Amino acid sequence: MPLAVFDDVGLFRADLFIDYVDYEHCLRMFTKGWQIAYAEAAELDHMPGNGTSVQFLGRTIHTVGAAPLRHYYETRNCLWVVTHHFRSSPEMTTRLLLRMVYTHLRALLLEPDRRAKLTAGLQGAFDALRGRLGVCRDEA
């Protein structure tokens, strides 16, 4: 990324901490008129959890297997990004929101620790609405 991007748009938001940091920065870039390249065939091989493949209604569905704390951050940060960037990027923020809902529904239907993941996601939603960012106080 050219250094001029950071001069114009600013740095990545450290208070988002773990999830949606890149999306939020790209939305600010987009709003300022920067072009963002999308490499459709690119893959990032990382493991945010212990995912598995599950048969559900005759289909194979891949789960992420993320810890409840990760559900907290994903929910909180996604909702914060959507509320702060919806007016400038309604299509992209709607896609982010739908992807987050799908990820959480999949986890709540097919993964263990459902109650803990639901509780963490709800706490993330409340913190997003309050504007509370940074490292989760349960983790600090």
Short-list 66, 87, 83, CA closest to 18: 66
| 95 domain-assigned | yes
CB neighbours of 61 closer than 8 A, spacing ≥ 6?
Answer: 53, 54, 55, 106, 110
pLDDT value for 37 = 87
E strand segments, 14-139: 53-56, 59-62
pLDDT value for 140 = 45
Short-list 23, 106, 116, 121, CA closest to 71: 121
| 3 domain-assigned | no
pLDDT value for 95 = 96
| 6 domain-assigned | no
| 111 domain-assigned | yes
| 47 domain-assigned | no
Global confidence as pTM: 0.87
pLDDT value for 65 = 81
Query: CA separation (Å) from 57 to 24, 25, 36, 60, 109?
Result: 35, 38, 38, 8, 12
| 28 domain-assigned | yes
| 8 domain-assigned | no
Range of the domain at 77: 17-34+52-130
E strand segments, 1-140: 53-56, 59-62
- How does pLDDT run along the chain (140 residues), one tens digit per residue? 899 999 999 999 999 988 999 999 999 999 999 998 888 888 877 666 667 777 778 888 777 788 999 999 999 999 999 999 999 999 999 999 999 999 999 899 888 899 999 999 999 999 999 999 999 866 64
Phi and psi for 55 in degrees, rounded to 5?
Answer: -85, 125
> How many domains does the chain contain in total?
1
pLDDT value for 76 = 97
DSSP β-bridge partners for residue 56? 59
| 72 domain-assigned | yes
